[in-house]
Amino acid sequence: MSEQPETAEELWTEQHPELGKGPVSTKSCIDPEFFELERDKVFRNSWLCVGQETELPQKGSFFVKDLPGLKASIIIVRDRAGKIGAFHNVCRHRGNKVEWEADGRCAALTCKFHGWSYKLDGSLADVPDEERFFDFDKSENGLLPVHVGVWRGFIFVHLAKEPEETLNEFLAEFKDILAGYPIEEMTKGYAYRAELNCNWKVELDAQMEGYHAPLLHRHSAGKAFRDLEKGTFHGLFYKLLKRHRMMSAPFAPHDPWPTEAIAAKFGSSMWLKDGSNEDLGLNPSNSENWGFDLYSFFPNFQLVVTKGVLMFYTYWPVSERKMVYEARFLFMPPKNAGERFAQEFNVCGALRDVQMEDMITVEVTQDALESNVIEGYLLQDEEILIRHAYKVIDDAIEG
């Protein structure tokens, strides 16, 4: 666990000699064999965030999470007792995909091929012409379950038959984070999804450092990054755990531009610094220039937190050079038109544009990495989360 340096001259990386200071190999971003190991030893052996409880508002509500890079399709459903369950989206008869819709509500899950029907708890309910099967027991042929758990309204699944740890154990390092933050009440959401021609870590890397922010985001983020002292980004606080990691980022004090001023008047602006935390569990360094906190959960789930906006990111591998990026922005339900305007400003005028600026870089980065001109990343101190992430993945594969 990192402790805040006593002086500005001290470096965070100095506190973690186990990470080293040399180049970090780029092989894991371009090697098909490494991707196979990563899929089996990292993603199939970790708790993965697939959605939120708010996506299952009623009994019978379901959604399907297709994970082609992991060779899995999962049905997440709220049964008649209100319990959330997860099942492989595979009919026990001939392997057809049971549910083809992305989401909906139903009384039963029925395969469109031969009509096998499953109850919401996954048990097999009906088989047409059942008497023609041999030594057949319906009780032994329900949908195959997937381990599922919920933390603060976020739904996690584990693809292993027998996970090595519970969800609570997996999240134990972050057990008390955001204790006072109203995550469950932030039910107003906006979502983006992008299919990118890059390794999943290349996009993840872009979200784990602010070194690029003063230059790349100089327009979308107004003066919040551009006017940082000397035009450089220095994180306020970093914490490296066994597998997870976090950082606090600064915003420069600035006068809002006209549209931003309206948003701030009626709600909030993503880019206006706010040193207070009001017991929300934010801003661990108690900095007056605090902008947001980022929590990066192993392997592919992130929360970016401000006082008024909660950002939820997942990075899904498809192949060694393809991925799906999902972003969701959560707010408290707006009480009036002014608050709604402020939310639209943050989603469209700030967050969307920042995400697109990051995406501009990742596909050309992938092409460059595949040219094999360089074999390693030269990481500086503000990129310590990237260094940590690659080591944790390497440790998981070697373990």
Q: Quick check: is 5 in a domain? A: no
Which of 170, 205, 227 is where one domain is finished?
170
**pLDDT tens-digit readout, 111-135:** 999 999 999 999 999 999 999 999 9
Looking at the structure, tell me whether residues 135 and 192 fall in a common domain. Answer: no
Buried b (16+ CB within 10 A) or exposed e, 163-180: beeebeebbebbeebbee
The identity of residue 39, as a single letter, is R
Looking at the structure, tell me whether residues 73 and 195 fall in a common domain. Answer: no
Which of 138, 170, 202 is where one domain is finished?
170
Q: Quick check: is 382 in a domain? A: yes
Looking at the structure, tell me whether residues 96 and 225 fall in a common domain. Answer: no
Check residue 303 and give its pLDDT. 96
In the block, tokens 């006209």 appear at 258
According to DSSP, the residues that pair with 66 across neighbouring strands are 73
Check residue 247 and give its pLDDT. 96
Looking at the structure, tell me whether residues 125 and 212 fall in a common domain. Answer: no
Q: How far apart are CA 79 and CA 180, in angstroms?
A: 30
The identity of residue 308, as a single letter, is G
Closest CA to 296 of 354, 357, 332, 242: 242
**pLDDT tens-digit readout, 11-58:** 999 999 999 999 999 999 999 999 999 999 999 999 999 999 999 999
**pLDDT tens-digit readout, 274-301:** 666 667 888 999 888 898 999 999 999 9
Q: Quick check: is 223 in a domain? A: yes
**CATH code, 394:** 3.90.380.10
**Tally of CB atoms within 10 A around 33:** 9
According to DSSP, the residues that pair with 103 across neighbouring strands are 63
Those residues with Cβ within 8 angstroms of residue 135's Cβ, 6 or more apart along the chain or in another chain: none
Q: Quick check: is 7 in a domain? A: no
Looking at the structure, tell me whether residues 127 and 185 fall in a common domain. Answer: no
Chain centroid offset of residue 225 CA: 23
Q: Quick check: is 212 in a domain? A: yes
Check residue 218 and give its pLDDT. 80
Number of structural domains (the chain) is 2
**CATH code, 66:** 2.102.10.10
Check residue 179 and give its pLDDT. 87
Those residues with Cβ within 8 angstroms of residue 365's Cβ, 6 or more apart along the chain or in another chain: 198, 202
Q: How far apart are CA 166 and CA 240, in angstroms?
A: 21
The domain of 334 spans 12-30+181-398
Q: Quick check: is 95 in a domain? A: yes
Looking at the structure, tell me whether residues 16 and 50 fall in a common domain. Answer: no
Looking at the structure, tell me whether residues 67 and 137 fall in a common domain. Answer: yes
Q: Quick check: is 330 in a domain? A: yes
The tally of CA atoms less than 13 A away on the side-chain side of residue 181 is 22
Q: How far apart are CA 398 and CA 378, in angstroms?
A: 23
In the block, tokens 């805040």 appear at 4
Q: Quick check: is 24 in a domain? A: yes
Chain centroid offset of residue 385 CA: 15
Looking at the structure, tell me whether residues 140 and 252 fall in a common domain. Answer: no
First and final C-alpha spacing in the chain: 21
CB 317, CB 273: distance < 8 Å: no
Check residue 7 and give its pLDDT. 46
Chain centroid offset of residue 370 CA: 26
Check residue 267 and give its pLDDT. 84
The identity of residue 221, as a single letter, is A
Looking at the structure, tell me whether residues 336 and 230 fall in a common domain. Answer: yes
Which of 120, 142, 170 is where one domain is finished?
170
In the block, tokens 């949908």 appear at 143
Looking at the structure, tell me whether residues 365 and 276 fall in a common domain. Answer: yes
According to DSSP, the residues that pair with 249 across neighbouring strands are 292
Looking at the structure, tell me whether residues 200 and 347 fall in a common domain. Answer: yes
Walk along the chain (399 residues) and give the pLDDT tens digit of each residue.
555 554 445 799 999 999 999 999 999 999 999 999 999 999 999 999 999 999 999 999 999 999 999 999 999 999 999 999 999 999 999 999 999 999 999 999 999 999 999 999 999 999 999 999 999 999 999 999 999 999 999 999 999 999 999 999 999 998 788 888 999 999 999 999 999 999 999 999 999 999 888 888 887 776 777 777 777 889 999 999 999 999 999 888 877 878 888 888 888 887 776 666 667 888 999 888 898 999 999 999 999 998 889 999 999 999 999 999 999 999 999 999 999 999 998 888 667 888 888 888 999 999 999 999 999 999 999 999 999 999 999 999 998
Looking at the structure, tell me whether residues 52 and 97 fall in a common domain. Answer: yes
In the block, tokens 């996690």 appear at 156
